[in-house]
Amino acid sequence: MSEQEKPKKKPRPAPEKIIPTSKDMDATKKRVHPRFVTGKYQNIRLVSMYAILIGFLILPWLRWNGRQAILFDVIEPKFFIFGATFMPQDFYFFAFVFIIAAMMLFMVTVYAGRVWCGYACPQTIYVHLYQQVEKLVLGERNKRIKFDREPMSGSKFAKLALIHLIWGVFSIITALTFMSLVVGVDTLILNGNPLFFMEWGKMSWIFFLIITFVTHINAGYMREHMCVYICPYGRFQSVMFDKDTLIVSYDYERGEPRGARKKDSHPEGYGDCVDCTMCVQVCPTGIDIRNGLQVECIQCAACIDACNEIMDKVGYPRGLIRYTTERQLVEKQKTKIIGWRIFAYIAVLSVAIIAAALIAVGRAPLEMEIRHDRKQLSSIGRDGMVENSYVLKIVNKTDERQVYQVRLDGDNTAGMTLRSRFKELPLQANEPYDLPVSIIGDPNVVPVGSTPITITVFSKDGTYSASAQDVFIYTPKDAK
């Protein structure tokens, strides 16, 4: 019977709309060994993923004005970011940064789906890197699957040991990089001792082992399970998707009914899908995109490149699997890009960016707060003078050593004198200091009750100054 005389196969019904589904939500499913494919989108992925990885690895080694450019010192605590120093009081600035990052991620998700997961997520990057190690040691997909089924032997043990050794090196480098961003390269590694790790404290070893172990297990074993069962982003993506969200989709009308055929032939009753399962073999989460959009899909577009390669071989047009929208694929309408949500996201992002910029520009190089002694607001000395005690919290936020002085300001300071333990206060770059001071008042001059006062801290060269207000309290025992 010729191909033209074969009975027509009943087409598979296409779903009325693309909805998130999950074919296999069992965490015990078989290990996924994806086939690596080349193509336009995979080239973009490789460039973006490994550019991010290289950037992460060299980040602790960048220098700025003789200091590590990026350092999140949680012990001090101080954050150094390209010459700018952020103290605990500046953490609200990072709140705006996180809001901006979250809004940008949401906006990208609404219009471009999970491109973050497929092209930039650290989980995706490390899983791809560790799977490349398996390919280097074991070979292509079929060989890796066969290797998993083989009983343990000396050869298998040696290959597993080699894989874990290379994974371990990557995990150790990752742990050292993370710790260098927190502890500092100079402290952690570059202390002149080749056996620098022998000088680590207990906490350094604990964090090093934890990060190394988590990286090894996560990228080596958890892999797609992290994306499918643990990462919350994959769960709430379906809430953010709409008919105009760009997603990886299979064209049911064009592809069904699927079936094998010879090259350059198109039997009657068949769609363009030759049922080669390449789209399944290259998927890093092991799903079949032909079953519709699923929560496991990270939109890496590996299935697109694989399908386009097969279409080229059989002589069919590309695009059987492609980036498209539900409105365009199912409803055959033009995708609506401009909507009320884009303006809402732009408005929120604009407010957050402007606020963060104003905060960053308006950061004072000198910060000062006054804390009145709450145990004894005022006291009468042996000389009959009234004394109020304060603590000035001074923070030198510049990157240079400064010498500060303190003075009493205000229009209601008649009869008052400021006394400080130090005439001059030298502070190193980014150094805080609590300076006790007292204000002595003449009871014959200062008014009874609370008198507003202003204390000013200023640098000796007159470049920086900061002021804060409090009150001077005088309550004589015979006052009514």
Residue 365: pLDDT above 50? yes
Range of weakest confidence among 86-95, 199-208, 455-464: 86-95
Q: Considering the entire predicted model, what is its pTM? A: 0.76
Domain-embedded: residue 5: no
Q: Does residue 92 sit within a domain?
A: yes
The backbone region for 430, taken as left when phi is positive above 0, alpha when psi lies in -120 to 50, beta otherwise, is: left
- 435 and 307 within one domain: no
Specify the amino acid at residue 434.
D
Most confident of 92-96, 103-107, 154-158, 255-259: 154-158
How does the average pLDDT of the chain come out, rounded?
Answer: 85
349 and 376 housed in the same domain: no
Cβ–Cβ under 8 Å, residues 249 and 324? yes
pLDDT classification of 47: cutoffs 50, 70, 90: very high
Q: Is residue 3 part of a domain?
A: no
Residue 6 lies in a domain: no
The reported pLDDT for the residue numbered 324 is 92
Residue 149: its pLDDT value, please?
92
**Residue 445 to residues 4, 380, 418, 420, 474, Cα–Cα distance (Å):** 114, 14, 15, 21, 11
Kindly state the average pLDDT of the residues 16-21: 42
Average pLDDT over residues 78-100: 79
Q: Output the DSSP codes for 274-305.
A: ----HHHHT-TT---GGG--BTT-----HHHH
Q: Residue 191: its pLDDT value, please?
A: 64
Q: How many domains does the chain have?
A: 2
Q: In whole angstroms, what is the distance from residue 232 CA to residue 229 CA?
A: 8
Residue 358 and residue 442 share a domain: no
Residues 196 and 79 grouped into a single domain: yes
Pick from 39, 100, 76: nearest CA to 318: 39
For residue 112, is pLDDT > 60?
Answer: yes
CATH number of the domain residue 377 falls in: 2.60.40.10
pLDDT of residue 318 exceeding 90: yes
272-281, 305-314, 346-355, 359-368: which has the minimum mean pLDDT?
359-368
Q: Last residue of a domain, which of 340, 363, 386?
A: 363
Mean pLDDT in residue range 189-211: 80
Q: Do 346 and 416 share a structural domain?
A: no
Is 202 inside a domain boundary? yes
Is residue 378 within 8 A of residue 388, CB to CB? The reply is yes
418, part of any domain: yes
- DSSP letters of 318-343? S-SEEEE-HHHHTS--------HHHH
Assess whether 142 and 182 both reside in one domain. yes
Whether 146 and 74 map to the same domain: the answer is: yes
Question: Which pair of tokens denotes residue 231?
Answer: 């990462």
The stretch 175-192 carries a mean pLDDT of 84
pLDDT score at 198: 76
313 and 377 share one domain: no
Which tokens sit at 129? 């890197």
How confident is the model over 107-122, as a mean pLDDT? 88
Q: Which of 342, 363, 384 is the last residue of a domain?
A: 363
Whether residue 8 has pLDDT greater than 70: no
Do 287 and 425 belong to one domain? Answer: no
The predicted pLDDT at position 201 comes to 80
Q: What range defines the domain where residue 125 resides? A: 13-363
**pLDDT tens for residues 369-420?**
999 887 778 888 888 899 999 999 998 888 788 999 999 987 788 889 999 9
Confidence of residue 192 (pLDDT cuts 50, 70, 90): low
Answer with the residue of higher pLDDT: 195 or 4. Answer: 195
> Following DSSP, what letter does each residue of 404-458 receive, concatenated?
EEEEEESTT-TTEEEEES-SSEEE-TT-EEEEEEEEEE-TTTSPSEEEEEEEEEE
Angle between helix axes 233-240 and 91-112 (nearest 10 degrees) is 60
Q: Are residues 371 and 353 in the same domain?
A: no
Q: Which residue has the tokens 């030198």?
A: 396
Distance CA 243, CA 446 (A): 74
Q: What is the reported pLDDT for 17?
A: 41
Q: What percent of the chain has pLDDT over 70?
A: 91
Band of pLDDT at residue 200, cut at 50, 70 and 90: confident
Residue ending a domain, among 363, 388, 410, is 363
Query: Are both 259 and 188 inside the same structural domain?
Result: yes
Residue 62 placed within a domain:
yes
Q: What integer is the mean pLDDT of 132-148? A: 94
Is 70 exceeded by the pLDDT of residue 20?
A: no
- Rounded Cα gap, residues 330 and 454, in angstroms: 70
Q: Answer yes or no: are the C-beta atoms of 299 and 247 closer than 8 Å.
A: yes
Residues 382 and 314 in one domain: no
Backbone angles phi, psi at 390, to 5 degrees: -140, 160
